[in-house]
Structure 1
Amino acid sequence: MEKVGKTTLSQLEQKMVTGQYVLFFSADWCPDCRFIKPFMPAIEEDFPQMTFLAIDRDENMDLARELDIFGIPSFVVYQDGKEQGRFVNKDRKTKEEVEKFLTNFTK
């Protein structure tokens, strides 16, 4: 998973012009984020057509605010620069829930 440093929405959108991306918002202090992180390599392996970007919410508060990311961990799917869907809430997410969400965007 590619870690994204401090960035702006404009910079991120330029990066995601073509292809399918999954933005994974989390923070080190978040227990629900720590719960899902060990499953992320398997999730990535199950969805090889998607590029996963890890975004530290605390390092990117302005970006999170612009994208209405108020709960973490959160997942946002982009296709060719346009948002396709999101799994955003403050609840713990299981591997199965994340994969069910991502399946909605496979071709």
Structure 2
Amino acid sequence: MKEITSVEMFKESIQKPTIAMFTAGWCPDCHFIAPHLPEIEDMHNDYQFVSIDRDQFIDLAVDYDVMGIPSFIAFDRGEEIGRFVSKDRKTKEEIDTFIRGL
């Protein structure tokens, strides 16, 4: 998963089919799902996956109404095409179902 290091990088990334994961280093639910992310990426190789540190890019989190993490937003051609955003812990199966439903 590619880590976003600038707003410009984020804006460029979402021009292609992208799953953006908002996360934070202190987030226990983010650490819970981390071991499953490579498998999720392999299952959905028609998307690129990027990671955004919510604390580092709080303005992006606010712009996309992300308060709970981890949260997943799908983009294509710069437009949001779906979201899996909640305060609850996410499972591999729930993330897979979200992506398959796009």
- TM-score (norm: length of structure 2): 0.93
Residue 87 of structure 1 corresponds to 84
Report the identity percentage. Answer: 42
CA RMSD of aligned residues (A): 1.3
- Matched length: 102
Residue 3 of structure 1 corresponds to 3
- TM-score (norm: length of structure 1): 0.89
Query: Is contact 1:6-1:59 (8 Å) kept?
Result: no
Q: Secondary structure at the match of 1:101?
A: helix
Q: 2:12 aligns with which of 1, 11, 14?
A: 14
Q: Secondary structure at the match of 1:53?
A: strand
Q: Secondary structure at the match of 2:22?
A: strand
Alignment of 1:1-107 (within 5 A): 1-7=1-7, 12-17=10-15, 19-105=16-102
Q: Which runs of 4+ in 1 moved over 3 A?
A: none
1:56-83 CA distance string (max 9 Å, x none): 1111111101110010000000012110
Query: Is contact 1:2-1:54 (8 Å) kept?
Result: yes
